[in-house]
Chain A
Amino acid sequence: MLQLRDDLDRPVADRDADHGFSPRHAALVLAVLAALAVAAIAVFMTYDLRGSLAFALELRAKKVAGMALVGTALGVATVLFHTVSGNRILTPSLMGFDNLYLLIQTGAAFTFGTFAFLSVDVRLRFGLEVVVMMGFALALHRLFLGRARDDVVALLLVGVVLGGMFASLTDLVARLIDPNEYVTLQDQFFASFATVDEELLGVSALAVGAVLVYVWRRTARLDVLALGRDTAVGLGVDHTRTVDRVLMVVALLVSVATALVGPITFLGLLVSNLAYRLVGTFRHRWTLPSAALAGVVALIGAQFAIEEYFAFETRASIVISFIGGTYFIILLLREART
């Protein structure tokens, strides 16, 4: 009887068995995404150039740099957040990160006066905001991620409540600010790609670059982290400390993205899940760069479509939120079925 063991062991769906992950396939995916990103940048920079070439190119270069930075930041932040939260549906923005960023800005403007607030060096302002965001990330870890880790629904609920609360508070504070001042402030919030602040762009690029190097050196540890807390601890990863650091990185990346263009709710969700699907592995050395590149392609693509076909009548973030939101619902339905 025992000799038959291997036959008995064979699962019914043997034909459909997926034989794991192929680095060659993942490398190909990465190359295609990189080519698409380069193509998107090239098209965006050169289509329909009119008037002063130098001026137009400089304007567009700034726009493209902002979009590339935001796409990369949100793609990487979402993958990292998925890894520490152990699911692929929650995103930093669904947990209220970008709403909090707006609240911090509004709150600071209210407390110190809008013009005083805006007159502070943008780099210093941004640095302080990032510190507050990181504090929030740590609190989130202590209060919710640690306890309700395996309960996606509970975490989602926490995110909805936090996000809603931050948005309402922002509204409340906004009403308290002088309306004229608030208009100035709002311009600042939704800077859109057309008016990216050059100094902010510089400091953001530096911060994102440093963080990417930090993350890239720890991809092996992140892979272990993705196996879940108990397995990771068993394999010698200091779970609490590692998750703290990853969440601080997430807070920084989301701050950069929100500071540059305002909230884009579903971009991260869309590009990270696209990346997982395309590379066919959870290994961070593949998922991180592909999510970043997909983010760049999606953002520049959406912006291009808006400028070309919608004549600027809508914002790229709205198009992405619509597509991403639909995808989110599909993901939720699929999750509910399994």
Chain B
Amino acid sequence: MIDIDGITKRYGKATVVDRVNLQIPRGGVVSLIGANGAGKSTLLSMVGRLLEPCDGRITVDGHDVQATPGPELARRLSVLRQENHLPVRLAVGELVAFGRFPHSGGRLSTRDHDHIDRAIAHLDLGPMAHRRLDQLSGGQRQRAFIAMVLAQDTDYVLLDEPLNTLDMRHAAQTMDTIRRMADDLDKTVVVVLHDVNVAAHHSDRIVAMKHGRVVADGSPSEVVDRDVLRHVFDLDVPVSHTDAGPVAMHFGRACTSGDAPLASRTGEFR
């Protein structure tokens, strides 16, 4: 279980994450949603110990994220930021092999190679395993990084906006992969997503943040709800209930200003 206890991050006077308490038990896909600047990525980065919190404590299966030795934590928890610019040139296969570093310390065993091959196969990267990352499209590069995380073979996987810059098809493939990581490989995936509908369709649980705090937390059908979304995004979003679950109709919108929603107009969009 990931246990986030009173986590706070401040930059000067601005509080980006404000005393967040959150428990994420093992299993399933948990989505973090919220407006830009709500603190989702900052929170995820602190869980992934890419950022140091100003206050509070995060444990992963009882191991304090700040105090546990790097390699030990890296065998339990992997993290992927949204912009994955590499300062060096390397091939897809090489990148995926780096996912084994916490286990191998750089000397790959047969078992490591098995993991690498499986991760490459899992993300359909076989034909381009020898290609250099800088010669691939954004979607392929994203898949290579996910394969690296997969090869790292951790119980917990944190992904920060993995759909960023992906087109519809690659986004769908990536979400399928994330789903399979949870269903077939028994991993717990925490993912920051922009699109409420993608989150609703692919997650078991949605956590919504606003102004650095968790303001809604529940199943997709609980969170993708007109009143909840209005509170989270300050936007009146009609929700349509389809066979595939709730769908937020966020096109054709009407901004609410504080407590005076323009509710009367939304009827037009039904």
- Chain A complexes with chain B: yes
A residues engaging B (CB < 8 A)?
Answer: 6, 9, 11, 13, 17-21, 86-87, 219-221, 223-224, 226-231, 233-238, 281-282
Quick check: B90 and A235 within 8 Å, CB to CB?
A: no
Quick check: B101 and A6 within 8 Å, CB to CB?
A: no
Which of B22-30, B65-73, B191-199, B234-242 contacts its partner? B65-73
A220, B108: Cα distance in complex, Å: 11
Interface presence of B255 (CB below 8 A) = no
Quick check: B106 and A236 within 8 Å, CB to CB?
A: no
Name A2's closest neighbour in chain B (CB-CB): B169
Residues of A within 8 A of B89 (CB): 282
Quick check: B48 and A234 within 8 Å, CB to CB?
A: yes
Residues of B within 8 A of A19 (CB): 91, 130-131
A86, B87: Cα distance in complex, Å: 6
Name B73's closest neighbour in chain A (CB-CB): A236
Interface presence of B225 (CB below 8 A) = no
Quick check: B74 and A234 within 8 Å, CB to CB?
A: yes
Contact residues, B52-104 vs A (CB, 8 A): 69-75, 78-81, 84-91, 93-94, 98-99, 101-102
A13, B137: Cα distance in complex, Å: 11
The one of A6, A87, A221, A282 in contact with B90, judged by C-beta atoms closer than 8 angstroms, is A282
A11, B132: Cα distance in complex, Å: 11
Name B70's closest neighbour in chain A (CB-CB): A236
In angstroms, how far is the closest chain A Cβ from the Cβ of B21?
A: 24
Residues of B within 8 A of A233 (CB): 48-50, 70, 79
Q: How many A-B residue pairs have CB under 8 A?
A: 92
Interface presence of B128 (CB below 8 A) = yes
Residues of A within 8 A of B75 (CB): 236
Interface presence of B252 (CB below 8 A) = no
A289, B62: Cα distance in complex, Å: 43
Residues of B within 8 A of A236 (CB): 69-75, 101-102
Quick check: B137 and A220 within 8 Å, CB to CB?
A: no
Name A1's closest neighbour in chain B (CB-CB): B169
Residues of B within 8 A of A9 (CB): 127-128, 137, 140
In angstroms, how far is the closest chain B Cβ from the Cβ of A56?
A: 45
Interface presence of B188 (CB below 8 A) = no
Residues of A within 8 A of B50 (CB): 229-230, 233-234
A213, B161: Cα distance in complex, Å: 41
9 extra interchain contacts, Cβ-Cβ under 8 A, other than A228-B86, A234-B152, A282-B89? Answer: A20-B130, A227-B88, A233-B49, A233-B79, A235-B101, A235-B152, A236-B70, A238-B69, A238-B70
In angstroms, how far is the closest chain A Cβ from the Cβ of B71?
A: 4
Quick check: A228 and B74 within 8 Å, CB to CB?
A: no
Quick check: A17 and B86 within 8 Å, CB to CB?
A: no
Contact residues, B129-165 vs A (CB, 8 A): 130-132, 135-137, 140, 149, 152
A13, B72: Cα distance in complex, Å: 41
Quick check: B94 and A20 within 8 Å, CB to CB?
A: yes
Quick check: B90 and A11 within 8 Å, CB to CB?
A: no
A23, B98: Cα distance in complex, Å: 17
26 contacts between A and B (CB under 8 A): A9-B140, A18-B135, A20-B94, A21-B90, A21-B91, A21-B94, A220-B105, A220-B106, A224-B98, A224-B106, A227-B88, A230-B50, A233-B70, A234-B48, A234-B50, A234-B79, A234-B80, A235-B99, A235-B101, A236-B71, A236-B75, A236-B102, A237-B70, A238-B69, A238-B70, A282-B88
